[in-house]
Copies of this chain bind each other. A is one copy, B any other.
Amino acid sequence: MDRIANLCKRRGFIFPSAEIYGGFGGFWDWGPLGQKLKENIKAAWWRDFVLLWDDVVGIDGTIITNPKVWEASGHATNFTDVLVECKKCHHRFKGDDIGQTCPDCGGQLTEPRRFNTMFKTTVGPVEESGSVAYLRPETCQTIFVNYENVRETMRMKLPFGIAQVGKSFRNEITPGNFVFRSREFEQMELEYFVPPAESRKYFDEWVTRCRQWLVDHGIKPEKIQLYEQKPDELAHYSKATTDILYAFPFGKGWSELWGIANRGDYDLRQHGKMARGDEQVFATAIGDDPLAKQVPYVIEPSLGLDRMALAFLLDAYDVVTGGRTTTTESTKEEEVVLHLHPDIAPVKAAVLPLSKKPELQKLAHEITQKLRRSWTTMYDETGSIGRRYRRQDEIGTPFCITVDFESVEGGKRPQGTVTIRHRDTMEQEVVDHNDLVAWMHERLG
C-alpha cells in the first residue's frame, strides 16, 4: 500500500489536497494520470452499464439538495456516527470501533455521542434555520427524486435504470487507508427499477454482472469474493445486499468494493409520502396492463470510484527484479509494471523516437497527433529507450511505439514501419505507421 501511495505521488496520480498547505485530512487531489484513470473507469462503466442498453439513462443532479430530500430518506436523523474523544490527548475516535480507554495514550474517553456525518451549509445570503442544506452523502437520492421526471420524459417502462456519476461527501470521523475512505469521493450509482415480484431475479443478475465486469477489466478473480449480508446486518431499507469484497491490504484483508442492494420500494414510498402525502404516488404500470400498478422495487449496484481506482492500481501493481527493459544496466534493479487493462490505463500509447534526429521526431510527432484524436498518447524523446520503457511500464501504458531509422529509411524492415512493444509480454510487433489507428481501434474500440 505504501508503495502504491508513493508511486501515485511520484508519477502524478494522487496528491494530498492542497499539499502546499500541508494537505487537508480526508481530501485528495487527483493529478494528471489519476484524473485519466478515473475518467477511463467511468467511461468503461458507463459504456457497459448505460450506453449499450436501451433501458438505462443517465442524469446529473446537484450536490447541494433541497433538505427535504434528506428528511424523507432518513439521513437527516439517522445518518450518524458515534464519536468519543480522549480526555487526555483529545484524539477522536469512531465510537463503535474502540473499547474503554484511548488506543493512543490509554487516557479516559468521553461519553459516546452521535453526530450527523452530512456536511451542512446554508443557502441564501443570511444564515438562519430555514436556509440549512446538506451536501449529498450519496448520489442515489437525486435519482429517486427525479424518478417521475425521467420516466415520463424518456418514456421508460419497467424494468429500467437511471445512472449517475458524481461527487458525494461524508464527514467521516476517521478517514483513512489512502483514498479508500475519504470525506469527498465520487460514486457511480445505478438504480434499476423493477416489478416487485421479479426483484430477486434481477438482484441475482446484477450480482453476476458486476462481478463479471471486474474480471473482464483485469481484476484477478482470486482477489474478489462475494459476501451476502445476513438479515441482521442489512440496512433498514434493504431486502438483500451482496457485497463484492476485494483483498485490500489493510483491515481484515477483505473490504467492500461494490455493494449490490435490493432497496425494495422504501425510497420511492418515502419520497411519495413526503412530497405528495401518498406513498403510492410513484406506482408504475407493470407489464402491458395500465391498471396493474405498483411502486417498483429498486436494485442498486453501487460503487465508489476512488476505491475502484485504488483496487485497479493495487491489482495491477507488479515488481520485477531486473531484466524487463532491454537496456537496464543493473539486472538487480527493481522495475515496476502496472498491468492495467488497456481500457483502464491512463495513457494508451507512448510514441518514442529512437533519437532526436529531426526526421525521426517529425514522423513520431505525426503519429502522436494522429493517435491523439482518439486516445491519450504521450510523446517522449528524453533518455535511453530502456529508461523510457520503464517510465511507461510504471504507469501502465499498454503500447510503446518506437520510431527508428528503419521507419524513415527502410532497411531490414520496410520503410514506414514502426515497432510496437507490448507492456505485458514485451513482445515487439512491426506495424506500418499508416495502419496504427486501425490497429489501436481493434484493441481499444
Point out residues on A near B: beta carbons under 8 Å: 9-12, 15, 17-32, 34-36, 38, 47, 51-52, 54, 57-66, 68-69, 81, 83, 92, 115, 119-126, 133, 135, 142, 145-146, 148-150, 153-154, 162, 167, 169, 171, 173, 183-184, 271, 274-276, 368-369, 372-374, 376, 379, 445
B142 touches A69 (CB 8 A): no
Residues of B contacting A17 in the complex (Cβ-Cβ under 8 angstroms): 61-62, 65-66
Task: Looking at the assembled complex, report how far the CB atom of A12 sits from the nearest CB atom of chain B, in whole angstroms.
Answer: 3
> Is the beta-carbon distance between B83 and A125 smaller than 8 angstroms?
yes
The minimal Cβ–Cβ distance linking A81 to chain B, given in whole angstroms, is 7
Is the pair A121, B123 in contact by a Cβ cutoff of 8 Å?
no
Copy number in this complex? Answer: 2
Instruction: Tell me the complex Cα distance, A26–B27, Å.
Output: 27
Chain B nearest Cβ from A281, distance in angstroms: 9
A62 touches B24 (CB 8 A): yes
Q: Is the CB of B18 within 8 A of A66?
A: yes
Cβ-defined contact, B35 with A59, below 8 A = yes
Determine if B65 and A145 form an interchain contact, defined as CB atoms under 8 angstroms apart: no
What would be 10 A-B contacts, judged by CB atoms less than 8 Å apart? Answer: A9-B153, A17-B65, A20-B148, A52-B373, A63-B63, A64-B169, A64-B183, A123-B183, A125-B173, A373-B445
Please give, as numbers and ranges, the residues of chain B lying within 8 Å of A83 by CB-CB distance: 125
**A32-B59 in contact given A51-B372, A154-B12, A372-B52 (Cβ < 8 Å):** yes
Contact at A32–B58, with CB atoms within 8 Å? Answer: yes
Flag if B18 contacts A31 (CB, 8 Å).
no
The answer to whether B51 touches A376, judged by C-beta atoms less than 8 angstroms apart, is yes
Q: Which B residues are in CB contact (< 8 Å) with A276?
A: 20
A247: shortest Cβ distance to chain B, in Å? 27
Pick the contact of A60: B35, B120, B169, B374 (CB < 8 A): B35
Contact of A150 among B22, B24, B31, B58 (CB under 8 A): B31
Q: Give complex CA distance A276, B20 in Å.
A: 8
Contact (A30, B61) CB under 8 Å given A83-B125, A123-B171: yes
| A29-B63 in contact (CB<8A) | no
Given the known inter-chain contacts A58-B32, A61-B17, please indicate yes or no for A125 contacting B121, CB distance below 8 A.
no
A445: B residues at CB distance < 8 A: 373-374
A149 to B58, alpha carbons, bound, how many Å? Answer: 34
Query: Which chain B positions have C-beta within 8 A of A64?
Result: 24, 27, 119, 169, 183-184
Contact with A65, one of B24, B68, B372 (Cβ below 8 angstroms): B24
- Whether A125 pairs with B92 at a CB distance below 8 angstroms is yes
Q: Can you list the 7 inter-chain pairs with the closest CB atoms, starting with the nearest?
A: A12-B153, A32-B57, A20-B275, A18-B66, A30-B60, A29-B61, A24-B66
Q: In the assembled complex, which residues on chain B have CB atoms less than 8 Å from the CB atom of A368?
A: 54
Tell me, rounded to whole Å, the shortest Cβ–Cβ distance linking A441 to chain B: 9
- Whether the Cβ atoms of A121 and B120 lie closer than 8 Å is yes
Q: Which residues of B contact A173 (CB under 8 A)?
A: 125
Q: Are B52 and A18 in contact (CB under 8 A)?
A: no
Let me know if B54 and A12 touch, CB within 8 A: no
Q: Is A149 in contact with B184, judged by CB distance below 8 angstroms?
A: no
Distance to closest chain B CB from A387 (angstroms): 13
Task: Say yes or no: A379 contacts B54, CB within 8 Å.
Answer: yes
- Cβ–Cβ contact B60 & A34, under 8 A: yes
Residue numbers in B under 8 Å from A126 (CB-CB): 115
Residue of B nearest to A92 (CB): B125
Provide the residues of chain B in CB contact with A21, threshold 8 Å: 66, 68-69, 145, 274-275
Contacts of A68 in B (CB 8 A): 18, 21
Among residues of B, the one whose C-beta sits closest to the C-beta of A32 is B57
The reply to whether B146 and A31 form a contact with Cβ atoms under 8 Å apart is: yes
Q: How far is the CA of A10 from the CA of B155 in the complex (A)?
A: 11
Cβ contact within 8 Å between B29 and A146 = yes
Contacting residues, chain B, for A29 (C-beta < 8 A): 59-62, 142, 146
For the complex formed, measure the closest distance between the CB of A242 and the CB atoms of chain B, giving whole angstroms: 28
* Inter-chain contacts of A184 with B (CB < 8 A): 62-64
* CA gap between A438 and B403 in the complex, in Å: 28
Residue numbers in B under 8 Å from A167 (CB-CB): 63, 167
